[in-house]
Amino acid sequence: MEYKITTKDNQAQVVFRGDITFSENVSFRQLLKDISEQSVTRCEFDLSGVDMVDSAGLGMFLIAREQADTAGWKLAVTGAQGHVASMLKLTKLSDLLDG
């Protein structure tokens, strides 16, 4: 997994590439720390470059969602396609992650 954060007018966009799996646990937490250090009101996770997400990866999105609620910013998960979109649909998490 690779990611790139860009911030503009209190809005952050994180563009992910590669697979988001259990082994990305540590870097994902670092990412959340990076976001929380910037005072953002909204953050978009762009998954259009992600080929695969496993159940642990979905768990990390849930953690991000929780952190957004606690810190008072909005999380939007966008661009999921292929396997990633199927996973979000199968687990009915797209609504939960996008609000």
Partner 1 sequence: MTEKTGKQAGTNSELTQSVLGASILVVDDMALMRQMIGMCLSGGGYENILFACDGDEALTMIEADMPDILILDLNMPRVSGYEVARTLRADARYDRLPILVQSASETPEERVEVFAAGATDFVSKPINQPELLARVHMHLQNRFLIDSLTDFRERMQSELVMARDMQQSLLPEMPSVREIERASGFKLESFYRASFELGGDLWGSWLLPGDYIGLFVLDIAGHGVGAALNTFRVHATMARFRRARLDPARFLTELNKVLVPSFPLGQFATMFYVVLNYKTGEMTYAGAGAPRPMVIGNQGVRLLDSSGIPVGISKKPDYVNITDRLMPDESLFCYSDVLIEAPQPNGEMLGEGGLISWVEEQAKKPDRKNLVSRLLRRFFDAQPSSLPDDLTAVAIHPNKERK
Supply the angle between the helices 55-71 and 25-37 in degrees, to the nearest 10: 20
Using the rule CB under 8 A, is 93 a contact of partner 1?
yes
Please check whether residue 1 is in contact with residue 28, taking contact to mean a CB–CB distance below 8 angstroms. yes
Burial class (CB in 10 A: 0-12, 13-18, 19+), 60: buried
Using the rule CB under 8 A, is 69 a contact of partner 1?
no
Using the rule CB under 8 A, is 85 a contact of partner 1?
no
Site for partner 1 in 2-31 (CB under 8 A): 21-22, 25
Query: Which residues contribute to the site for partner 1 (CB under 8 A)?
Result: 21-22, 25, 52, 54-56, 58-60, 62-63, 66, 83, 86, 89-93, 96
